[in-house]
């Protein structure tokens, strides 16, 4: 499935480059990879600091808008499984922060767009891979890590790219076959079982994180025993 890999040097954001390719008509499963981003984007309007040595890619997937959460869950699982192949124990903090030892090493930003004939998911993945922790600004560094820092040596981004794409492709579920990737996500999601405080569009919600469903919603059990499903949000604290 993975098709053409479009390689770029310095870009604003690989997701933007991918959107440009969709507008010009592109083959599904085209991948954009850049060496550095100067306007890398994270979730909720945040920036994704993208120095050289990181792995920055966007996979262009033909997908219905309602299946965008599935693309996001699958990308998170693919990153965790790729890292575990390198003996690194990674987990996911809902919705899709990939952590090693509680520090963020990778993130996923999926954007849906309407193309000339169909819908597309731009699956953006950023991994702090082959650069030292000091390359990140001090305020991010406290809660982040890099693969070079964890492994104590250089990282081959080319190998990492290919194993990540293999893992993403092999885990990506056909419609109706979402069960295994959702189960795997629930296995590696470190948010589950914890008392959490979540900032949402509806305000702050507290509860025990119980599970994540195929829609990407997290289910919280509140103090009064009610179950609340959250489609979006940022975890402020995990107990």
The stretch near ligand BTN (CB under 6 A) out of 19-27, 69-77, 101-109, 224-232 is 101-109
**DSSP string for 69-83:** HHHHHHHHHHHHHHH
Q: How many CB atoms lie within 10 A of CB 145?
A: 20
Among 19, 21, 31, 40, the residue binding ligand BTN under the rule CB under 6 A is: 40
Q: Which of 68, 45, 91, 58 is nearest to 216 (CA)?
A: 68
Judged by CB, which is closer to ligand BTN: 88, or 228?
88
Among 22, 61, 108, 188, the residue binding ligand BTN under the rule CB under 6 A is: 108
The stretch near ligand BTN (CB under 6 A) out of 52-60, 159-167, 180-188, 214-222 is 52-60
Does residue 72 interact with ligand BTN by CB under 6 A?
A: no
Q: In this structure, what token pair is assigned to residue 178?
A: 């979402």
Dihedral (Cα; 166, 168, 174, 175), 10-degree rounding: 180
Does residue 42 interact with ligand BTN by CB under 6 A?
A: yes
Does residue 124 interact with ligand BTN by CB under 6 A?
A: yes
Give the β-pairing of 97-100 and 103-114.
antiparallel
In the three-class reduction of DSSP (H, G, I as helix; E, B as strand; rest coil), residue 135 is classed as helix
Does residue 216 interact with ligand BTN by CB under 6 A?
A: no
Judged by CB, which is closer to ligand BTN: 48, or 172?
48
Does residue 41 interact with ligand BTN by CB under 6 A?
A: yes
Strand order in the sheet with 218-221: 227-230, 218-221, 203-212, 195-200, 234-238
Among 6, 21, 22, 48, the residue binding ligand BTN under the rule CB under 6 A is: 48
- Give the residue nearest to ligand BTN (CB): 107
Does residue 129 interact with ligand BTN by CB under 6 A?
A: no
User: Using CA atoms, how far apart are residues 215 and 110, in angstroms rounded to an integer?
Assistant: 14
Residues engaged in binding ligand BTN (CB under 6 A): 13-15, 37, 40-43, 46, 48, 56-58, 97, 107-109, 124-126
């Amino acid at each position: 499935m993975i098709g053409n890999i479009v390689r770029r040097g310095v870009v604003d954001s690989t997701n933007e480059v991918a959107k440009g390719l969709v507008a010009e008509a592109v083959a599904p499963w085209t991948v954009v990879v850049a060496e550095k981003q100067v306007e890398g984007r994270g979730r909720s309007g945040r920036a994704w600091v993208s120095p050289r040595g990181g792995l920055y890619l966007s996979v262009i997937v033909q997908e219905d808008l309602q299946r965008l959460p599935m693309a996001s869950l699958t990308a998170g699982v693919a990153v965790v499984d790729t890292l575990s192949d390198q003996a690194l124990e990674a987990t996911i903090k809902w919705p899709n922060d990939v952590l090693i030892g509680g520090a963020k090493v990778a993130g996923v930003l999926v954007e849906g767009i309407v193309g000339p004939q169909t819908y597309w998911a731009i699956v953006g993945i950023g991994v702090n891979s082959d650069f030292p922790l000091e390359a990140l600004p001090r305020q991010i560094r406290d809660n982040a890590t890099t693969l070079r820092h964890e492994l104590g040596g250089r990282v081959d981004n080319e190998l990492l790219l290919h194993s990540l794409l293999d893992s993403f492709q092999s885990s990506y579920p056909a419609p109706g076959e979402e069960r295994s990737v959702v189960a795997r996500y629930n296995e590696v999601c470190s948010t589950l079982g914890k008392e959490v405080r979540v900032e949402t569009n509806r305000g702050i919600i507290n509860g025990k994180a119980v599970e994540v469903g195929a829609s990407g919603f997290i289910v919280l059990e509140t103090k009064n025993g009610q179950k609340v499903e959250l489609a979006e949000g940022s975890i402020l604290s995990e107990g």
